[in-house]
Chain A
Amino acid sequence: MPVAAGRDELHLLDSGGFMWRDAVELFRNFMGTGMIVIWFLLAVIYLFINEKRKYVRILFVYMPVTLLLLYFNPLFAKLLFEILGDEIYYRLLWLLPITPVIAYSGISVCWKVKEGKGRRAAGALALGMAAVIVFSGSFVYSNPFFYRADNKYHMPDSVVHICDAIIVPGREVMAAFPPEFVQFVRQYSPLVCMPYGRETIVERWGFESEIYELITAEEIDLEALNRAVLEERCHYVILQSSRRVKGNFADYKWELFCEMDGYSVYRTEYPLITEW
Chain B
Amino acid sequence: MALQLLILALLLFAVPLLVGGIFTDVDKSVGQLPLRWVSGQFCLWACFQLICVPFVLWSGNFVPMLYLFLGCSLALAALGAARSIAGWRKKKASGAVIPVFRRKPGRAEALLWTLFAAVLLFQLVQAVRMTYTDGDDAYYVAISTTVANDELMYRKLPYTGYSTELDARHGLAPFPVWIACLAKLSGMEAVSVAHLVLPVVLIAFAYGVFYLLGRTLLPAWGGKFPLYLIFTELLVLFGNYSIYTSESFLIARSRQGKAALSGIVIPFLFYLLLLWLKRLERQEKLPGVFYLLLLSANITSCLCSTLGGVLLCMLAGITGLFGAVSYRRWRQLVPMGLCCLPCVGYAVLYLFLN
A contact residues vs B (CB 8 Å cutoff) = 29-37, 53-56, 58-59, 62-63, 66-67, 70, 83-84, 88, 90-95, 97-100, 102-104, 106-107, 110-111, 119, 123, 126, 129-130, 133-134, 136-143, 145-149, 152-155, 172, 182-184, 186-199, 202
Contact = CB atoms under 8 A, between A and B. Distances in A.
B187 to A, nearest CB: 14
Contacts of A119: 108
B319 interface: yes
B84 interface: no
A99 B228 CA distance: 10
B159 A137 contact: no
Contacts of A84: 307, 310
Contacts of A36: 235, 238-239, 241
Contacts of A33: 241
A144 to B, nearest CB: 9
A56 B281 CA distance: 11
Contacts of A183: 133, 135, 137-138
Contact of A136 (B138, B238, B261, B322): B238
* Max chain B Cβ within 10 angstroms of own Cβ: one of A34, A119, A190: A190
Contacts of B131: 146-149, 154
29 contacts: A29-B244, A54-B277, A55-B281, A56-B217, A90-B244, A92-B314, A103-B231, A106-B228, A130-B230, A130-B231, A138-B238, A138-B240, A140-B237, A140-B240, A140-B247, A146-B130, A147-B133, A148-B130, A149-B130, A149-B195, A149-B196, A154-B195, A182-B159, A186-B160, A187-B137, A187-B141, A187-B145, A187-B191, A193-B161
B241 A138 contact: yes
The A interface, classified by DSSP as helix, strand, loop or mixed, is: helix
Interface stretch (B37-45, B60-68, B75-83, B266-274): B266-274
Q: Nearest 6 pairs between A and B by C-beta?
A: A197-B159, A137-B238, A193-B161, A55-B277, A32-B242, A32-B241
Interface in B313-349: 314-315, 318-319, 322-323, 326-327
A267 to B, nearest CB: 19
Contact of A191 (B128, B149, B232, B278): B149
B246 interface: yes
Contact of B162 (A37, A137, A184, A193): A193
A149 B129 contact: yes
Contacts of B189: 153
A244 to B, nearest CB: 27
B241 A103 contact: no
B133 A91 contact: no
A270 B236 CA distance: 51
Given A56-B217, A95-B266, 7 more contacts: A55-B277, A58-B277, A99-B236, A140-B239, A186-B159, A194-B161, A197-B158
A195 B243 CA distance: 30
Contacts of A88: 307
A10 to B, nearest CB: 30
B201 interface: no
A99 B161 contact: no
Contact of B232 (A67, A103, A148, A155): A103
B213 interface: yes
Contacts of A142: 240
Contacts of B236: 99, 140
A107 B231 contact: yes
A155 B135 CA distance: 13
Contacts of B266: 94-95
A201 to B, nearest CB: 8
Nearest to A188: B191
Interface in B82-97: none
A190 B228 CA distance: 44
Nearest to B162: A193
B251 interface: yes
Contacts of B261: 94
Contacts of A129: 231
Contacts of B134: 145
A61 B261 CA distance: 22
Given A66-B318, A187-B142, A193-B162, A103 B235 contact: yes
B196 A154 contact: yes
A199 to B, nearest CB: 5
B252 A140 contact: yes
Given A59-B277, A84-B310, A149-B130, A94 B242 contact: no
B23 interface: no
B239 A99 contact: yes
A198 to B, nearest CB: 4
Contacts of B108: 119, 123
B159 A194 contact: yes
Contacts of A197: 138, 157-160
Interface string B6-49: 00000000000000000000000000000000000000000000
A186 B238 contact: no
Contacts of B237: 137, 139-141
Contacts of B296: none
Interface string B276-290: 011011000000000
A94 B262 contact: yes
B231 to A, nearest CB: 4
Contacts of B248: 140, 143
A111 B231 CA distance: 14
